[in-house]
Amino acid sequence: MLDQRLLRDNPELITEQLGRRGMTLDLTGLQLIAKQARDLEEQRSNLQAEGNRIGKDVGLKIKAGAAANGPEVQALRDQGNRIKQQVAVLEEEEKALDAKLREQLLTLPNLPSPEAPNGSSETDNIEIKRWGTPRVEEGLQEHWQIAERLGLFETERSVRIAQSRFVTLMGQGARLERALISFMLDLHGTKGYREVMPPILVNSASLTGSGQLPKFAEESFRCAEDDLWLTPTAEVPVTSLHRDEVIPAEQLPLKYVAYTPCFRREAGSYGRDTRGLIRLHQFNKVELYWFCHPEHSAEAHQQITADAEAVLEALELPYRKIELCTGDMGFSASRTYDLEVWLPGAGSYREISSCSVCGDFQARRSAIRLKDGKATQLVHTLNGSGLAVGRTMAALLETGQQADGSVQLPAALVPYFGAERVTTP
């Protein structure tokens, strides 16, 4: 969430920076609400100070010999009670204005970093680097064709269980998914991440704190009888691990890795993506998340991205690193690197990880601060997929496909899967 002080004191900066995202804003109404809220706060503060002064005067009068129930003291008490009533009224008005202001500020995205490249769409994204040699051959199959032949997942039977855009992993497919999850968690554990397995159901406050609500309510699955939602990403519950907390500066950075199933409505008609593991309503993901000191967030962004890259390199999967332009970044991000893995069967790169620094945007929404000496300030948060498991499996199947119909696995994954190849059952 954007800082109210910035709205009051420098609205032009907000208009300019969100303009880089392609937004056209008129902040006049929000400014008026913010000014009214500040004026009420000043009135309330002045009245409270006056009330405190009167309370001290009562004590001094009694100490000087005035009767506690005498008219002089009673007049002061009556005055103090009137001030308390006025303060109570102002507090209610202030709460109402603050709630109205917060409600509108929650709909505005994060300001892009000055380093984020300007642009209006994915065509303006910038390629930073490539790693590995993409496999390019005629006749290579796509992952869903390989999976069907090897019996790795069921789609038609999954429709009976749920609906379209769900899959049931079977046999070696389920084993390969489990192997990938364990491999990723172990690898990140060696890099200092603390493993957590958070609740999959999250409340509205958690979704609001991480930036999913109110904007993306239609893309999430909600439980009808409770204030609970199926998490769209582990970023949501991990953000709320420290909601409403003050973290001692010496404990930073806090680095977490979390595996969760994720649920999103966004999957729809995406051509070839309607088959296979690329876009599903339910998918598994290993998420990286940092809470860090603001002075170190730029460095942390490079590191969290490198940690996600390390998974691809260990699995011998060629990829490219893209910096997203301002018009293509996510709602909570101020700067983002995407990692796109090469899919030989499809003959294209596809996103497999998005690593973002969010500055204090999520921390302000979630009231997460750090204490450095006597001073407190908002922490910075970062998140990145490390990796999306289904898409990783898709890349492995297409990259490792062999002439005999089997799939050769990278050496790093063999101890987890228990075999060097995925073969016909």
Q: What are phi and psi of 34, to 5 degrees?
A: -65, -40
Which listed residue (240, 354, 356, 366) is catalytic? 354
| Catalytic hit among 20, 21, 44, 279 | 279
Q: Digits of tens for pLDDT over the chain (425 positions)?
A: 999 889 988 999 999 999 999 999 999 999 899 889 889 999 999 999 998 999 898 888 888 888 888 888 888 888 989 999 999 999 999 999 999 999 999 999 999 999 999 999 999 999 999 999 999 999 999 999 999 999 999 999 999 999 999 999 999 999 999 999 999 999 999 999 999 999 999 999 999 999 999 999 999 999 989 999 999 999 999 999 999 999 999 999 999 999 999 999 864 445 556 789 999 999 999 999 999 999 999 999 999 999 999 999 999 999 999 999 999 999 999 999 999 999 999 999 999 999 999 999 999 999 999 999 889 999 999 999 999 999 999 999 999 999 999 999 999 999 999 999 999 88
For the stretch 184-233, pLDDT in tens is: 999 999 999 999 999 999 999 999 999 999 999 999 999 989 999 999 99
Tell me which residue of 209, 266, 265 sits closest to 237, measured CA to CA: 209
Supply the pTM of this predicted model: 0.91
Instruction: Give the burial string for 208-240 (b: 16+ CB within 10 Å, else e).
Output: bbbbbbeebeeebeeeeeeebbbbbbbbbbbbb
* H or E element at residue 164: none
Catalytic hit among 243, 351, 420, 421: 351
Distance, CA of 378 to CA of 101 (rounded, Å)? 20
265 is catalytic: no
Residue 391's pLDDT is 97
Determine the pLDDT at residue 242: 98
Quote the CA–CA distance of 381 and 401 in Å, as a whole number.
39
Question: Which CA distances in Å does 288 have to 179, 210, 241, 283, 381?
Answer: 18, 14, 14, 16, 11
Is residue 366 part of the annotated active site? The answer reads no
Predicted local distance difference test score (pLDDT) of residue 272 = 52
> What is residue 229's predicted lDDT score, i.e. its pLDDT?
97
Q: Which residues contact 201 (CB under 8 A, 6 or more apart)?
A: 223, 226, 228, 229, 230, 231
How buried is residue 60: exposed, middle or buried, by Cβ count under 10 Å (0-12/13-18/19+)? exposed
Beta carbons within 8 Å of 236's beta carbon, 6+ residues apart: 202, 206, 207, 209, 210, 212
The secondary element (H helix, E strand) that includes residue 35 is helix 28-63
- HSE at residue 185, side-chain half, CA atoms within 13 A, is 17
**In this predicted structure, what is the pLDDT of residue 58?**
85
Q: How many CB atoms lie within 10 A of CB 52?
A: 12
The question of whether 269 is a catalytic residue gets the answer: no
All structural domains of the chain: 4-105 (1.10.287.40), 122-422 (3.30.930.10)
| pLDDT score of 264 | 94
Among 235, 236, 233, smallest CA distance to 205 is for: 236
- Which DSSP symbol is given to 278? S
Instruction: Look up 264 and say whether it is catalytic.
Output: yes
Q: Supply the pLDDT for residue 273.
A: 66
Q: Phi and psi for 268 in degrees, rounded to 5? A: -150, -135
Pairing of strands 201-202, 229-230: antiparallel
Would you state the pLDDT for residue 269? Answer: 47
Cα 34 from chain centroid (whole Å) = 27
Exposure letters 322-334 (e unless 16+ CB within 10 A, then b): bbbbbbbbbbbbb
Active-site position among 264, 335, 364, 369: 264
pLDDT at 120: 96
Rounded distance, CA 31 to CA 252, Å? 35
8-57 residue pLDDT tens: 889 999 999 999 999 999 999 998 998 898 899 999 999 999 989 998 98
Question: What's the whole-number average pLDDT of the chain?
Answer: 94
Chain centroid to CA 118? 22
Q: Tokens at residue 217, please?
A: 């309510």
- Cβ neighbour number for residue 16 with a 10 Å cutoff: 12
391 catalytic residue (yes or no): yes
